[in-house]
Amino acid sequence: MTIDTIRNISVIGAGNMGHQIALVAALAGYDTSLTDVDSDALARAEAHAGTYLSERVAKGRLSEADGAAARGRLRFVATLADCVAEADFVVEAAVEKLDVKRRLFADLDHFAPRHAILATNSSAIVSSAVASSTKRPDRVVNMHFFNPSLVMKLVEVVQGPHVSDDTAQTTIALARALGKVPVHLHKEVDGFLLNRILDAVFREAGWLLEMGVASIEDIDLACVHGAGHPMGPFRLLDLIGLDLQHLMAMERFEKTGDAAELPMPQLAARVAAGHLGQKTGQGWYDYRGANRGGKAA
């Protein structure tokens, strides 16, 4: 399979990542279908697509014709079987639970055409962990977009030992066709590429905060104005979601048993309180009311 044979893209999961990936694909010219087991999530995704495209047109960033064409390429469907019936490439963006993904990939293998590549957008679960639930392990690959995927350019393509060169190269080519910048990981590793680098920054920033060395604001200011980062680690965590960082830390702890892998106390406390970042209005910073620009919480 090559990039030239990809016409139809299916996205599984209409949450924060999935509905954006579907929009990216439709805007790039691909017939795109999106589904979710939660009908309310699917309805919200459909409403968001209309709003997003209309706003782009109103701001002059997208012509009316191109906006209408992108909307026309988007389908919001109730069932998995319907969503992937004509898929050439599938992107799974479901919950980060291995047992759920394994069942889902077994279903995808059953319903999707035999030639289709099945990609997982997981930021933590390697594709070899789900590939064995299919009869096409050579066409099961990590294609990790970053949040918000309508804006962020990076896509990590992770080529595990089961992934064929054709699958990896086609996935890389598709990322480019979607207007993204792909990086190719030649082997599986926990955390992939960027998250391993960021995790080292998050850990050190957390240690500095926990030890009372510096405030949230000053740590962020140092990274922005000293290291040239577009935003500091705490603001970035608010954008990514504190729950995702907490989940990844817990998964590392469960694998290693090393207490050093546990989430830092202040992160755990915020997650327990439901303060998960921008999506909940409060995380490391408070984005509510007069603090919409973000004030350290």
Domain limits of the chain? 3-185, 194-290
Q: How far apart are CA 233 and CA 295, in angstroms?
A: 15
The one-letter code for the residue type at 190 is: D
Q: How far apart are CA 175 and CA 284, in angstroms?
A: 32
Residues 248-263, mean pLDDT to the nearest whole number: 88
Q: What is the pLDDT of residue 45?
A: 97
pLDDT band for 185, please (50, 70, 90 cuts): very high
Q: What are the strands, taking DSSP E only, across 68-218?
A: 74-76, 89-92, 117-120, 140-145, 154-158, 181-185
Architecture of 3-185 per CATH? Answer: 3-Layer(aba) Sandwich (3.40)
Sequence-distant (6+) residues with CB within 8 A of 109 are 118, 133, 134, 135, 136
The backbone torsions φ and ψ at residue 32, rounded to the nearest 5 degrees and listed phi first, read -130, 130
Domain 194-290 has CATH 1.10.1040.50: yes
Residue that has been written with the tokens 């590793």 in this structure: 189
Q: What is the pLDDT of residue 292?
A: 66
Predicted structure pTM score: 0.86
pLDDT(100) > 80: yes
Q: Do the two domains 3-185 and 194-290 of this chain adopt the same fold?
A: no
Give the residue numbers marked as catalytic: 123, 144, 156, 195
Query: In this predicted structure, what is the pLDDT of residue 247?
Result: 86
Q: Is 290's pLDDT higher than 80?
A: no
Q: Is the peptide bond before 265 cis (omega within 30 degrees of 0)?
A: no
DSSP letter (8 states) at residue 193? T
